[in-house]
Structure 1
Amino acid sequence: MLEVDSEYCGSLKRAGILTRDPCIPRMKERKKTGFKGACRLLQCPKRLLQIISTFKALLEYTREVLFCMWNFMR
């Protein structure tokens, strides 16, 4: 019925016949960091641990550099 005339969309939706609007496509879920796709974790847990440890080391290094710069500027 919507293929013939799309003006019935609102009244059919209010009646509860349509559960979602076919005119608006669903959005693709974004990829997240540390995941293989949108939802799936990496297959190898060692790889995930490697990513976390690398991030922690980078954070610690940045903290040390900022601390040294702060002491130098004082």
Structure 2
Amino acid sequence: MEDETTLDEEVDAFLALMAYDPAKERFLTDVMRTQMKAAVHTAFQAGWLQLAFLEIGGQKAAAYLN
């Protein structure tokens, strides 16, 4: 990630993929989503963010966030 203007969109895509797992979907309350977005923005601003997607046929199929 090099462009913070698309960061929220990318985090939303990551969370959507994460929510395919029923247990993780329950975990992803509105409060948790807000906290995760804040943590991702902080990591981005510090230069630590690692966010990547595997795309198949132009669609995000898997993601990595660290």
Which TM-score applies when normalising by structure 2? 0.34
Larger Rg: 1
> Which protein is richer in strand relative to its size?
2
Which TM-score applies when normalising by structure 1? 0.31
Higher RCO by CA contacts (8 Å cutoff, separation 6 or greater): 2
